[in-house]
Structure formats: C-alpha cells, structure tokens
Amino acid sequence: MALIFYNNNESSGKLKCTIQQTGRLGFTDATAKQLRLHEVDAVQFARDDQESDTLYLVNDVSKSGPNAFKVCKAGMYYYVNTKHLFEELGLDFESNTIIFDLKREPKYKEMEVYKMTKRELPRKKK
C-alpha cells in the first residue's frame, strides 16, 4: 500500500472579485494572493470570440501594453480601475452588486487566464 498525499493549495475558498459602486474591480484577499497581484503591474481583460458575453481576466506578469489595466493598492486591498470597461459592456454596477467568480483556465500563450462568471444582485439601499 502506498499513500498519495494531496497538495494543500493556498486557495482557501472561491476566487472572486466585485465591481464596486465606483466602477473599480476589487479583489478579495484570497484572490489577490492566488493571482499574486503584489507581483503584477497590470492585468488584461478579454472575451471569447465564440461566446461574446464571457469575460476573462488575463494575469500576465511580464507584459503591460496599451490594453492593460494597472493594478492599484489601497491599504491592504488590490483593485483595478475598470469603470470605462464596465460602462462600455453595459454593466449597471451603480444599481447592482456584480460579483465575478474566477476559475483558472488552461494557459493561453503562456499567460494565466481566469474565466469570470458573473453574479448580479440588487444593491442594498442605505
């Protein structure tokens, strides 16, 4: 008999990010660690040419070209200024809480790619 041990992946839960009311995309602490945002200058967003409503986050440490979104940090939290992108996509982040669950996809041209599955809830009134 031989025991095969499972790896303890650092992801302690779902990877997710939320569009804030300001249009910024904020990452949970666990997601920021898994995506290594402390090492990344920028991320990119893409869509599938066959599924136009499917959004992807491309975490490419090595490149930050004209289509890249700068990763910012406020206190202990990471975010990306995405207001104009989400407005262009027609997402109503001011009236709704929009959360994306991230799932790692196979590497695309040596880049880390995460499929963003959208959940939308009415924003709570104050």
**pTM listed for this prediction:** 0.82
Cβ–Cβ < 8 Å for 47, 98: no
pLDDT tens digits for range 10-49: 555 789 999 999 999 999 998 999 898 887 889 999 988 8
Q: Mean pLDDT score of the chain, rounded to an integer? A: 86
Strand boundaries in 4-110, DSSP class E: 15-19, 24-27, 42-47, 55-59, 69-74, 77-81, 96-108
Q: For the chain, report the end-to-end CA distance as a whole number of angstroms.
A: 60
CA–CA distance, 24 with 115 (Å, rounded to integer): 18
Q: Which pLDDT belongs to residue 8?
A: 63
CA–CA distance, 46 with 58 (Å, rounded to integer): 7
Share of the chain above pLDDT 90, in %: 52
